[in-house]
Amino acid sequence: MKKEFCYTTFNNLELWGTYYPSKEISSTKPLIVYFHGGGLIYGNRDDLPQEHLEIFLDNGYSVITLDYPLIPEVKLDVVLECLKEGIHYVSENFQQDFIYFGRSAGAFLALQLANCDSLIKPKKIISFYGYYSLNEPLLHQASDYYKKVPIVPFMTVHHLKRKQPIKEALIEERFPIYLSFRQSGTWVKELLGRKNEINDFSLTIEDLQKLPPIFVAASEHDQDIPFQINQELANQASNATCFFVKDLPHDFDADPIREAAISCYKEVIKWLEK
């Protein structure tokens, strides 16, 4: 049976996690800590399709998913400070052997946390179509892909922003915020706010080389996060395994019965077992 728990509170916002126990009761395998995607603006902690979740549970891996406060109501430093509390909670109340798994923005968060000296290091990292540095010039440019759709007015974004921090939101509700930021090339600026330094949220080549073994999955035709970012991640990390697909969208595993998605998760399990 899954178990839900509150790991911290930020500005009266309770941040929760969900624990999904392995189907192997006596399993001694590392715990998988999962971070959801959504451009740091929308989504929820339990967005991993059930079919993908079951693959981990069936193979002896318990999974924990964690809330984090969303942008733009907070900025990136707050997101990561809250998740650090989440990792401390997990290590104190569950186990200290764990693997980070993130998809899209969640992969970025996983890499940031793996690079944090104040935290116990994960044994491995599973990075699906994410990014490791906000210094990447392509993330500062207005997206050609998103400019193909009607421009989102600033006032629309203003009205969608809440007065208090939130931890989950439907894509249908909040995607216009992300779309506006990507259309205008201001996404990174909005993540950071005025007080944060971009280098504090950007892994260097030296940082990447110090990472634990990493599994990098991405589509060569990713319309959201340029594919070359994941190529660079795989090339610079000291111990990387790649799973690259063609002619598929950014979140190619969103459809759990897609052949590429099934194959990818099978390869993840093989890699975890090494």
pLDDT digits (tens, 9 = 90+) for 158-188: 899 999 999 999 999 999 999 999 999 999 9
Residue-number span of the structural domain to which 254 is assigned = 3-272
The pLDDT of residue 155 is: 87
User: pLDDT tens digit string along 62-89?
Assistant: 999 999 999 999 999 999 999 999 999 9
User: pLDDT tens digit string along 188-208?
Assistant: 999 999 999 999 999 999 999
Separation of alpha carbons 161 and 139, rounded Å: 22
User: pLDDT tens digit string along 103-133?
Assistant: 999 999 999 999 999 999 999 999 999 999 9
Task: Check residues 154 and 32 and name the one with the higher pLDDT.
Answer: 32
User: At 38, which CATH number?
Assistant: 3.40.50.1820
Separation of alpha carbons 242 and 237, rounded Å: 11
Dihedral Cα 247, 253, 255, 257, nearest 10 deg = 100
Our count of domains for the chain comes to 1
User: pLDDT tens digit string along 21-66?
Assistant: 999 888 899 999 999 999 999 999 999 999 999 999 999 999 999 9
